[in-house]
Amino acid sequence: KLKQVCNHPAHLLGDGSRLAGRSGKLARLEEICEEIVADGDRGLCFTQYAEFGRMLQPYLAARLGCEVLYLHGGTPKRQRDAMVARFQAETEPALFILSLKAGGTGLNLTAASHVIHVDRWWNPAVEDQATDRAFRIGQRRDVQVRKFVCVGTVEERIDAMIEEKKALAGKIVGTGESWLADMSVADLRDVIALAPEAVSQ
């Protein structure tokens, strides 16, 4: 509930009340989407809440005056494949809203050069996988990634936890093999040495 109210009061209440003018996050999302459309670019907008995606689609379509696609867990495979093919092949629609779980894996959406995470998920790997829908083989442009966080709320604490997780993961292993070069000779010996109990007498 605390995360839902960060998106929009109407998301928390589920009362069908008006969206405009009641959420700084929605206002900023609208501004960014306007820029994407005006520049002739394409964008992916991820939310972890299917019901919020259902609210965003008609709202953004009306405000921007263009079609906005929406893919969620209940989208039939045939329709899903058709939406993806259309987004990849045509210049419109410029915006594709996806629920994080349904659209976060297995899709190639390199037509997009913008990725927006409207709300944060606890596991950074899930967000990274979603971002990779646009940032993958076949992408020829820079991809701008934006992650929305409401200051002073549970979202800010989630964001801090995510960054701590990433830092910890980086310290434990790091990315790639560069961490091996940072090991001392003694540490390397410890890594490759057989433990005494592994050597039979």
Q: What pLDDT, in 10s, does the model give residues 102-111? A: 876 778 898 9
**Total domains, the chain:** 1
**By residue range, what is the domain housing residue 43?**
2-175
Question: If we measure between CA atoms, which residue out of 154, 117, 153 comes closest to residue 134?
Answer: 117
**What band does 75 get if pLDDT is binned at 50, 70 and 90?**
very high
Q: Is 96 part of any domain?
A: yes
What is residue 163's predicted lDDT score, i.e. its pLDDT? 85
Q: What is the mean pLDDT of the chain?
A: 83
Q: Is 27 part of any domain?
A: yes
Q: Is 199 part of any domain?
A: no
What is residue 160's predicted lDDT score, i.e. its pLDDT? 85
What is the three-class DSSP state of 96?
strand
Q: Is 193 part of any domain?
A: no
Task: Compute the chain's Rg from CA coordinates.
Answer: 21
At 47, the amino acid letter reads T
What is residue 201's predicted lDDT score, i.e. its pLDDT? 53
**What band does 197 get if pLDDT is binned at 50, 70 and 90?**
low
CATH (domain of 45):
3.40.50.300
**What band does 124 get if pLDDT is binned at 50, 70 and 90?**
confident
pLDDT in tens, 82-95: 999 999 987 788 99
Q: Is 102 part of any domain?
A: yes
Q: Is 189 part of any domain?
A: no
pLDDT in tens, 149-181: 888 888 888 888 888 877 777 766 655 556 566
Q: Is 183 part of any domain?
A: no
pLDDT in tens, 131-148: 888 877 677 788 899 999
C-alpha separations of 83 from 18, 91, 101, 143 in Å: 28, 13, 17, 21
pLDDT in tens, 9-56: 777 777 887 788 778 888 999 999 999 999 999 999 999 999 999 999
pTM metric for this prediction: 0.78
Q: Is 138 part of any domain?
A: yes
